[in-house]
Amino acid sequence: MNILLCCSAGMSTSLLVSKMEKAASEEGVNAKIQAVATTEVRNHMDEVDVILLGPQVRYLLNDIRKIGDEKGVPVDTINPMHYGTCNGKEVLKTAVQLISK
């Protein structure tokens, strides 16, 4: 499972990545997680299973979802509270649910 997180510069979501990786290994989920800037999302479309946007760039949701739909990649925003508290477990759960939908 390949999860892409995305925020303005890819910096603040990278905090979350390590938390999610930890949560994934604890739960035995095989997941590759990476954080990128909004500018780079297009370049990763082909290699990921789900895209999660940081709440601060949620105004891009419609646009990125449009591209995601073409490739069959689900796109959603991260719950602000989970994002703020770096709750890797919950965000991982969101990602898994989106993929299995």
Partner 1 sequence: MTSFMNILESKVLPVANRIGSQRHLLAIRHGVLATLPLTIIGSFFVILLNFPIEGYDEWIAPYRAALDVPFRFTVGAMALYAAFGVGSALAGHYKLDQLSAGFLSVLAFLITCVVPTQVMESVPGVIEAGRWLPISSLSAASLFGAIVTSLISVEIFHFLIKRDIKIKLPESVPPMVSNSFAALIPTLVVVLLFWGIRYGLGFDINSIITTLVSPLKNLLVGNSLVGGLLTVFLIVFFWSLGIHGPAILGPIIRPMWDSAILENMDAFARTGNAANLPNLFTEQFIQWFVWIGGAGSTLSLVVLFLFSKSKYLKELGKLSFVPGIFNINEPVIFGAPIVMNPILMVPFIVAPLVNVIVSYTFFQLGLIPMIMAKLPFTVFSPIAAVISTDWTIMAGVLVILNFVISLMIYFPFFKMFEKQHLRDENKIEDGPEEEKAGIKYA
User: What tokens were used for 19?
Assistant: 């938390």
- 54 and 14 Cβ atoms separated by less than 8 Å: no
Active site residue 6: no
Does the protein bind partner 1 through residue 24 (CB under 8 A)?
no
Does the protein bind partner 1 through residue 71 (CB under 8 A)?
no
Q: How far is CA 9 from CA 13, 24, 37, in A?
A: 9, 24, 4
Site for partner 1 in 28-67 (CB under 8 A): 38-39, 42, 54-60, 62-63
**Host H or E run for residue 62:** helix 61-71
Write down how long the chain is: 101
Among 6, 88, 94, 96, binds partner 1 (CB under 8 A): 88
User: What tokens were used for 93?
Assistant: 């759960």
Closest approach of Cβ 97 to partner 1, in Å? 16
Does the protein bind partner 1 through residue 84 (CB under 8 A)?
yes
Active site residues: 7
Residues at the site binding partner 1, with contacts judged by CB under 8 A: 7-8, 11-12, 15, 19, 38-39, 42, 54-60, 62-63, 80-90
